[in-house]
Amino acid sequence: MPEGKIVKALSGFYYVLHDGQIIQCRGRGVFRKNKITPLVGDEVVFQAENDREGYIMEVRERKNELVRPPIANVDQAILVFSAVEPSFSTVLLDRFLVLVEYNHIKPLICITKMDLTNEDEKQAIIKYANQYRDIGYEVLITSSETEAGIDGLNPHIENKISVFAGQSGVGKSSLLNVLRPDLDLKTNKISTHLGRGKHTTRHVELISIGNGLIADTPGFSSLEFTSIEAEELAFCFPEIARESESCKFRACLHISEPKCAVKAAVESQGITHYRYQHYVDFLQEIKDRKPRY
């Protein structure tokens, strides 16, 4: 039986890409019985009824999956954040980075709307970008309006499944429109009352750009750390994970333990204070989480 990749899921139908053709498929009842839901990004085996329709018979093993947005086998997350309108937020970026790191997905930070910044705002963004680069993250600084820096995205997209993620209104659809103008994706201006954009994307779909596939998604509707345990959080902060190897105690949570190498690195500015503070806040959030039964 033929194999393909689900590139869109909508109203109970799964659109499978096979040899350049899209086959509209339904899932067999066995999936519901076994509580398996096919996801966009899944590699599947299907049975073709004709040139355009078929049934999904098997979902291949996934290397990862996200719940919100529902997508599987993601190679990288392009975290899109605006410099202004809405203002750049390190705490929100770090929430995204923790979730992406926890799911073993490579992040790429893309800061947009640089054309709207004044000189002070521009310098602040450059400083933040360099701090995240020092941690080891790739950071691109772009503008959809002037198309500055957009070319830097292309090498990262090639031969990968990428998910665009970020709060609404930061310019994800605008970036996609520059990368592939024929898409003409709907964009919305920022609400001046709420300071954020309206959702313009309603379903998950993989869009072909060059030799890569990009998921334009409704965004992460949940940024809660529902699955991460307290002992796992440090490994979602690469610089904290590196320093923690020198802690006196193996189970150190880097809060009040003696001879903690992480706290020493914060004191010596080897770890930025705001990143450590986000770690502390997230850890408390995880500890305060109500147990699930």
Rounded mean pLDDT, 61-79 = 88
For 101-159, write each residue's pLDDT tens digit: 998 999 999 999 999 999 999 999 999 999 999 999 999 999 999 999 999 999 999 99
Nearest to 153 by CA among 143, 6, 145, 96: 143
Nearest to 9 by CA among 50, 30, 37, 46: 37
Nearest to 282 by CA among 93, 106, 130: 93
All domains of the chain in start order, with CATH: 3-60 (2.40.50.140), 71-216 (3.40.50.300), 230-287 (1.10.40.50)
Return the half-sphere exposure (C-beta side, CA atoms, 13 A cut-off) of residue 256. 1
**Are 170 and 112 a contacting pair, CB within 8 Å?**
yes
Rounded mean pLDDT, 52-69 = 89
State how far the Cα of 277 lies from the Cα of 241, in Å rounded to an integer.
15
For 168-208, write each residue's pLDDT tens digit: 788 888 888 899 988 876 655 433 333 344 444 457 889 89
Among 31-35, 81-85, 207-211, the least confident range: 31-35
**Are 210 and 157 a contacting pair, CB within 8 Å?**
yes
Rounded mean pLDDT, 83-88 = 94
Altogether, the residues listed in the chain come to a count of 293
Rounded mean pLDDT, 219-245 = 88
pLDDT band, very low/low/confident/very high, at 292 (cuts 50, 70, 90) = low
Dihedral class, residue 280 (left if φ above 0, else alpha if ψ from -120 to 50, else beta): alpha
**C-alpha 43 chain-centroid distance:** 20
For 247-280, write each residue's pLDDT tens digit: 999 899 999 999 999 999 999 999 999 999 999 9
State how far the Cα of 221 lies from the Cα of 237, in Å rounded to an integer.
22
Predicted local distance difference test score (pLDDT) of residue 257: 95
